[in-house]
Amino acid sequence: VGPVNARDLAAWVRYAAELVSADAERLTRLDAAIGDGDHGLNLDRGFRAAVDALPDGAPPGKVLIAAGRAIVSKTGGASGPLYGTVLRRAGKALGDADDVDAAALGAALKAALDGVQELGKAVEGDKTMVDALAPAVAAFAAALADGTGLAGCVRAAADAAAEGADATVPMRARKGRASYLGERSEGHMDPGASSTALLLRALAEVAGE
Ligand code: ADP
Ligand code: MG
Ligand code: MG
């Protein structure tokens, strides 16, 4: 499997929107336990808007930037600006290139993580989407360093994100709405970490085709 292009990334946005929509109730249930019960709804609205905003004939970076802008403008809550930042920063990192190889995609993921941490100030262990995204970035880089191809790198990242989301269950939230619950936030998976794992699974499936 070679580099990915604009069509692949547009396919990712569409597939992510499908998975989010199918999983919206579960994400909302997770958020009902430690937040305000709108995470699935927020993301569903945001990704629908992202699909509508997909440009024709634009390079991969511009596809992600357009999707990110739509998500910021249509997604309520904390996750809208955060996921908007993920997509816009990743898009910016890709520049105007027509093809995205494994190294470029890894750099884009890292830029996305940096953007989320600049905006939300969360570190690993705070029980947020960073607990899925940070291990994903690290696993991608480790796979790349081992000489793994793009599809394998994304698969490693998606697996690490899923493990990272599972690992948020015992954590006590220190950022976002869930932090208001203090120790009562323990024992529940963070909804944003779970949705990040979902988005990376979608990317792995598109990149693996
Ligand atoms: P809201 O909490 O405003 O209702 P959502 O329910 O859509 O927004 O999203 C909640 C998710 O956002 C959390 O599960 C967490 O993963 C993520 N989140 C909240 N605050 C931060 C932050 N400061 N940094 C990173 N992620 C955060
Ligand atoms: Mg919420
Ligand atoms: Mg909310």
- Residuewise pLDDT in 10s, the chain (209 residues): 679 999 999 999 999 999 999 999 999 999 999 999 999 999 999 999 999 999 999 999 999 999 999 999 998 889 999 999 999 999 999 999 999 999 999 999 999 999 999 999 999 999 999 999 999 999 999 999 999 999 999 999 999 999 999 999 999 999 999 999 999 999 999 999 999 999 999 999 999 97
The CATH number that applies at residue 40 is: 1.25.40.340
Angle at 178 between CA 50 and CA 43, to 5 degrees: 10
* Ligand 1 pocket, residue 78 CB under 6 Å: yes
| Count of domains observed in the chain | 1
d(CA 30, CA 8): 30
Count of all residues that appear for the chain in the document? 209
CB contact set of 15 (below 8 Å; sequence gap of 6+): 202, 205, 206
* Ligand 1 pocket, residue 190 CB under 6 Å: yes
ipTM over 0.95: yes
* Ligand 1 pocket, residue 176 CB under 6 Å: yes
Cα-to-centroid distance, 183 and ligand 2 (Å): 18
Local structure of residue 37 (DSSP, 8 states)? S
d(CA 186, CA 184): 5
Cα-to-centroid distance, 78 and ligand 3 (Å): 7
Burial (CB < 10 A; 0-12, 13-18, 19+), residue 23, is middle
For the chain, how big is the Rg over CA atoms in Å?
A: 16
The token duo for 172 is 């006590």
Angle at 155 between CA 152 and CA 158, to 5 degrees: 155
In DSSP terms, 100 is beta-bridged to: 4
Local structure of residue 126 (DSSP, 8 states)? S
The residue nearest atom 9 of ligand 1, judged by CA position, is 79
* Mutation probe of ligand 1 site: the residue of 82, 121, 166 with most atoms within 8 A of C-beta: 82
* Ligand 1 pocket, residue 40 CB under 6 Å: no
The token duo for 96 is 């105007």
d(CA 48, CA 118): 26
HSE at residue 38, side-chain half, CA atoms within 13 A, is: 11
Q: Residue 29's Cα: distance from chain center in Å?
A: 19
Q: Which ligand 1 atom minimizes the distance to the CA of 35?
A: 2
The per-residue pLDDT for 76 is 81
Q: Which ligand 1 atom minimizes the distance to the CA of 34?
A: 14
- 128, 175, 182 from 172: Cα distances, Å: 10, 9, 6
Ligand index nearest the alpha carbon of residue 42: 1
Can you give the residue range of the structural domain that contains 165? Answer: 4-207
